[in-house]
Structure 1
Amino acid sequence: MKDQIVTLNVGPSQLLSKLCDEIRDEIEGQTYRFVVIHSDQLTKLKANKLERDCQKESAQFEKDMTTLHKGTFHCLADAEDTKQAFEKMHKLRLHRYQLSICAEKAPIKRAKRGRPKKEEQVEFQTIYRIHLALFEPDQDVLETKHQLLSTFILITNRLDKTTFPALDVLKTYKEQKRKRLFSPDKRWRA
């Protein structure tokens, strides 16, 4: 079945949907027809949710990254171990990131209190910090999630495509949904 764009007039609003695919399969020995539909209305609703999820994940990661960046390591092996543990704990669903380890020179803390003498030399040591080298939304994952969130599947046991085409399946679903919304009996089922 080729992609077919359909506009349905259901109630006061129009619904623009795209009939994407149609397959047959069995569930517990009974054959059914599955109609996959991509809805523009559902796309608009789910886009906001996906954006909120992306912002929430970003905020949590930035908070954890701030804590990690404050830490200093005196040995490169410790920094590598901490970096690997952080990456293992923070497998993000909607973003990509990359960490790097940078060496810095820092003055060694003096044993005595007070101001150093003029002739006293300041000694330095090498410390290591973990920095965020790359952090961006993973566009491939976001596009896939967006497609999945704006798609739904209708199932019917009427297998003949000629007497009950996919467009009729969608129209019947929309009529049942409208009747259920405006039915005084909340126990009504399609």
Structure 2
Amino acid sequence: MIWTLCVALNYRNNKENKIKKCNFIYPTIDIQQRNYPCLYPLGAIPCVECTMARDDNAHVGLCIEHSNDIIMILIESAYDLYDLIIANSDNIPVALSDTIESLPLFNVAFNGYLLIHHLVLIDKLIWARRATLVKAWERNLSITKNKKRFYRRRYKKNNLISPPLDNMDTLSPLRRNYTHR
């Protein structure tokens, strides 16, 4: 009974993560900054990979650091389509590979349309590397999982007193108080 409950919870969490990643609602730094205003620095936080744009969900798929990965995914998908057609077809056209390469779907001059409509899978390549870099950035700011976990207990909405400073927080920039709208 307990095992099936654990499997069901794991399955649910896995599906939730996939839905969030595909719909670009995964908690990027701007969302974390909104949800934990006393933990994250003030102002626009740049992307942890390219440091050229504000880190938000819209930027994740369009970051220049991901363009090579997306092109690689498109090329692999074109090869997979070619292999699938050859495996399931009796009459193989002579110019099949040229036809596939000329399709706008596999155009390596990437446009965001493919990413937005979930035709480029970003789970394994982009989100895994990105999550590692964000965790390292948070570790540098001494933002831990426990600080996020107990954030609501520590900083109540009606608490007008600024948050207590830890030894590590004295070097960080001033924090703002968050008022829920």
Specify the TM-score bucket, using the shorter chain as the normaliser.
Answer: under 0.3
| More helix by percentage | 2
Q: Which has the larger radius of gyration?
A: 1
Question: TM-score when scaled to structure 1?
Answer: 0.27
| More strand by percentage | 1
